[in-house]
Amino acid sequence: MDSILRVDGGKPLNGEIFVRGAKNFVPKAMVASLLGSTPSKLRNVPQIRDVDVVSELLSLHGVHINFDQGAGVLDLNPKNVEIAHVADIDALAGSSRIPILFCGPLLHRLGEAFIPDLGGCNIGGRPIDFHLDTLRSFGANVIKEDNGIRITADKGLRGTQVHLPFPSVGATEQTLLTAVMADGLTELTGAAIEPEIMDLINVLQKMGAIMSVDTDRTIRIEGVKELTGFTHTALPDRIEAASWASAALATHGDIYVRGAHQPDMTTFLNTFRKVGGAFAIDDEGIRFWHPGGELKPIVLETNVHPGFMTDWQQPLVVALTQASGLSILHETVYENRLGFTRALREMGANIQVYRECLGGLRCRFGQRNFNHSAVISGPTPLHGANITVPDLRGGFSYLIAALAAEGESIVHGIDVISRGYEHFLNKLARLDAQVERG
């Protein structure tokens, strides 16, 4: 059923909200609990759809789960891990991308795994070739079936050399979750080093893993025979924090994001300041606000960490429509992440997309048929419109646009946003947003 939000925009968002653990970390730590011989405890867990999906999939594999939602504490007991029924797993097909990370842990625990067809945002082809090549190099057999993939490892998994052609977050996590209990040494080169991956490494080390991270994207892992459970507090969600920061800027508002963590947001904060946004950091969080005056245009290139994160791009673009002059955007992580600009144009924004690599870097998508660069010309007043959420981050950027626009907007498909933004409707209410569910 369509989930609709009526937004009466053109008013600043003011107030305080709280962000909990990172969507791009919590589900992975939950998967890691499968590797332990004893229970694990994860704190700072948000109530988001991806946590529900991974909980369901873990439960189907015999993990006993207790989620104290108010406290944000998740207890996971993997003592009775068992093979799940394909039909049950299939019911979760298309709901998330996390299930692919079950491969290594299930191979170690059960010698086989069945992974349903994946979901997640439609922002590019999002292949899983790196994942499957990596699993094969550990000695796994990978068989494509009608509704998913079956993976077996009759002779166990052996440490290996993995080189990633692009520092993929998911494929790095796949390698870590598989290597920690594989027989012998694994050397991963070309690894992604996002803060969420570093926190997964923290978790695995607490469980008994032996791993080292070099400055040149090389991670070495010495396989061990047994891992135990962990107790861990998830790092805060830097994407959610940056999204609310962009909302403050685009609506001329002032939002204190309790839980926002400066060290994971350095690149975002630099950019926010260059655009003309103001922020103040204290021990508990970060206050973001529009200080008045004109916003400045920028040249923005998304990249893997420590670059400007691709998930920060869509919310910030809405604020860039209000900057005075030409901003240039070059998306280098996903080939198809600018489709959301179409609705912004309908709302009055002046945005042109290009196949060429604009900005400094020549990326993998240059000279191919991908509209992955944009020129944003501002400031352009935005007006309300009837819009449909395209994907998670694009959806949040539509919300921001509707809140910044004069007049009423009707935003369709808002349930997608709850995949990654905990209680966003409650948070909007706390910020005095004029919104109503249709």
Report the C-alpha dihedral over residues 168, 171, 172, 177, rounded to 10 degrees.
Answer: 160
Interaxial angle between packed helices 266-275 and 238-250, expressed in degrees from 0 to 180 and rounded to the nearest 10: 10
Query: In this complex, which beta carbon is closest to ligand UD1, that of residue 127 or of residue 263?
Result: 127
Query: In this complex, which beta carbon is closest to ligand UD1, that of residue 23 or of residue 427?
Result: 23
Shortest CB 300 distance to ligand UD1, Å: 15
Shortest CB 280 distance to ligand UD1, Å: 27
Query: In this complex, which beta carbon is closest to ligand UD1, that of residue 199 or of residue 254?
Result: 199
Shortest CB 419 distance to ligand UD1, Å: 10
Shortest CB 291 distance to ligand UD1, Å: 30
Shortest CB 382 distance to ligand UD1, Å: 25
Active site residues: 121
Query: In this complex, which beta carbon is closest to ligand UD1, that of residue 304 or of residue 344?
Result: 304
Q: Which residue of the chain is nearest ligand UD1 when measured via CB?
A: 170
Residues in touch with ligand UD1 (CB under 6 A): 24, 97, 124-131, 166, 168-171, 192, 309-311, 333-334
Query: In this complex, which beta carbon is closest to ligand UD1, that of residue 310 or of residue 418?
Result: 310
